[in-house]
Amino acid sequence: MKNITKVISILKKWSKPYGLPTLRSTHKEKNPFKTLIACLLSLRTQDSNTRKATDALFSVADTPEKILKLPQKKLEKLIFSSGYYRNKAKTIKHVSKVLLQDHSGKVPSSLDDLMKIKGIGRKTATITRTFGFGKSDSIPTDVHVHVIANRLGLVKAKNPEQTEQQLMKIVPRKYWFELNTLFVLFGKHICITMSPFCSRCPIRKYCLRIGVKRSR
Ligand code: SF4
């Protein structure tokens, strides 16, 4: 799509009044461990719940050592607001253990090493590399990025992995870092998965509205 630069420029202006999503906001700390754990907590929940859980957890434990010292029940209580807290607590413990055992307590920066750890999928690995390490060699693609890119007609993909691969072919590299943040905010406020607010969409004239059956 020729208009990708225009779309990104409009979304940059549109997004200014909004605060950064939790995962993007971890970037300023340059702490890959916090980005990784925040991403694990963000799975299948809203950003506000992720924020509550990360604030509670990191005020008590923000390293693999400290997480492993937390009793399971206490960890579950700290991350309760993120939902699926029992499974997430198990995953966070496991990831912390592997980091200590195999990586001297540090988060590995390679995609392959990250994805070898049980519980870390491609999205979590790319988020960790992008926002934790500041590497811009992939486009973190969650459900918002996947849905919006397909609706716009930028890609024609069945899953986030395909969407990421297709986006990397058409989005200029200088936008790779910010694309996730822009689409996550846009998906939260306007291009909502269930029923988008097309009537107040600032990029409507660039959108093919592929697959949109119901809108507001
Ligand atoms: S026109 Fe509708 S479907 Fe297209 S980007 Fe805007 S809100 Fe999303």
What is the DSSP code string of 113-158? HHHHSTT--HHHHHHIIIIIH---SS----HHHHHHHHHHTS---S
pLDDT at 3: 85
Helices (H) and strands (E) in the chain, counts: 13, 0
Question: Is residue 38 in contact with ligand 1, taking CB distance under 6 Å?
Answer: no
CATH for the 4-19+138-206 domain, from 3.40.50.720, 1.20.58.100, 1.10.1670.10, 2.60.40.2470: 1.10.1670.10
Find out whether 157 and 166 touch, Cβ atoms under 8 Å. Answer: yes
Question: Which of the listed residues 4, 203, 214 should we mutate to test ligand 1's pocket, taking the one with most ligand atoms within 8 A of CB?
Answer: 203
Nearest to 183 by CA among 23, 69, 2, 1: 23
Cβ atoms < 10 Å from Cβ of 29: 14
Find out whether 22 and 50 touch, Cβ atoms under 8 Å. Answer: yes
Residue-wise pLDDT for 51-96, tens only, equals 999 999 999 999 999 999 999 999 999 999 999 999 999 999 999 9
CATH dotted code for 31-133: 1.10.340.30
pLDDT at 58: 98
DSSP 19: P
Measured in angstroms, how far is the CA atom of residue 209 from the centroid of ligand 1? 6
Question: Which of the listed residues 184, 199, 209 should we mutate to test ligand 1's pocket, taking the one with most ligand atoms within 8 A of CB?
Answer: 209
- Domain(s) labelled CATH 1.10.340.30 in the chain stretch across 31-133
Does 1 score more than 70 pLDDT?
no
pLDDT at 122: 93
- Domain(s) labelled CATH 1.10.1670.10 in the chain stretch across 4-19+138-206
Q: Is the pTM of this model over 0.85?
A: yes
Handedness of CA 205, 157, 118, 131 (dihedral sign): negative
Question: Is residue 10 in contact with ligand 1, taking CB distance under 6 Å?
Answer: no
